[in-house]
Amino acid sequence: MRKTAATGERSDDELLQMSTRGDEEAFLTLYHRHQGSIFRFALHMSGQRETAEEVTQEVFLALLSESRKYLAERGDLQAYLIGVARNKVRRQIRQTRGFASLARTEPVVEAASFEALSREQEARALRAAILSLPPNYREVVVLCDLENMDYAHAAQHLGCAIGTVRSRLHRARMILGSKLRNGMRCRV
């Protein structure tokens, strides 16, 4: 790939066209623009850093080799990339036969207060509960509650109606609330 200057101010569509013509800097700009959100999505969906890193890499390799599959008229590039990441995470989960296990090791804490330990346990229980949700519910929780995405953007990313996002999110929150109230230790 060759390098060019002044790619930072260009649109995703322009950068993608430039990168398909071999512009390395345009591709790197796209990568830096979207890598963080793709990684966070994959991490929240899989519960494993290694899986998230692998999925993120696969998403951008797919973009590089199969850029013709992206159609701007169907939505923005980030929505397309999240859709690719979503499929790759689901494939990874199927291949590993089940959901990723949360780390069972206790953190080393010196002179930690009871409150801090309690918050950590609550956060671990919440992560486990989120990971135990069916993928369609987990996706909306990740996008709307963890990534603070509005319903319209989440709907675009998931390729569904806003009402579907709202109903899935409502149902997911009900399931999470029930699991957390019952103190259930989620097996993931």
Q: For the segment 124-162, what is each residue's pLDDT rounded down to a tens digit?
A: 888 888 889 999 999 999 999 888 899 999 998 888 999
Question: What pLDDT is recorded for position 92?
Answer: 84
174 or 106: which carries more pLDDT confidence?
A: 174
Pick the CATH number of 1-98 from 3.30.2130.30, 1.20.970.10, 1.10.1740.10, 3.40.50.1950: 1.10.1740.10
Q: What's the mean pLDDT in 160-166?
A: 95
Q: What is the pLDDT of residues 78-133, one digit of tens each?
A: 889 998 999 898 888 777 754 444 444 444 444 456 666 667 777 788 888 888 99
**Does residue 51 contact residue 92 with C-beta atoms inside 8 Å?**
yes
Q: What is the pLDDT of residues 12-41, one digit of tens each?
A: 999 999 988 888 999 999 999 999 999 999
The CATH architecture of the domain made up of 111-188 is Orthogonal Bundle (1.10)
SS3 104: coil
Q: What percent of the chain has pLDDT over 90?
A: 38
Q: Where in the chain is the domain with CATH 1.10.1740.10?
A: 1-98
Question: What pLDDT is recorded for position 111?
Answer: 43
SS3 8: coil
Question: What pLDDT is recorded for position 128?
Answer: 86
CB-CB neighbours of 91 under 10 Å: 12
Question: What pLDDT is recorded for position 39?
Answer: 94
Question: What pLDDT is recorded for position 100?
Answer: 42
Question: What pLDDT is recorded for position 107?
Answer: 45
Query: By CB neighbour count within 10 A (0-12 exposed, 13-18 middle, 19+ buried), where does 123 fall?
Result: exposed
Question: What pLDDT is recorded for position 91?
Answer: 87
Q: What percent of the chain has pLDDT over 70?
A: 81
SS3 23: strand
Q: What is the pLDDT of residues 41-60, one digit of tens each?
A: 999 888 889 999 999 999 99
**Does residue 77 contact residue 34 with C-beta atoms inside 8 Å?**
yes
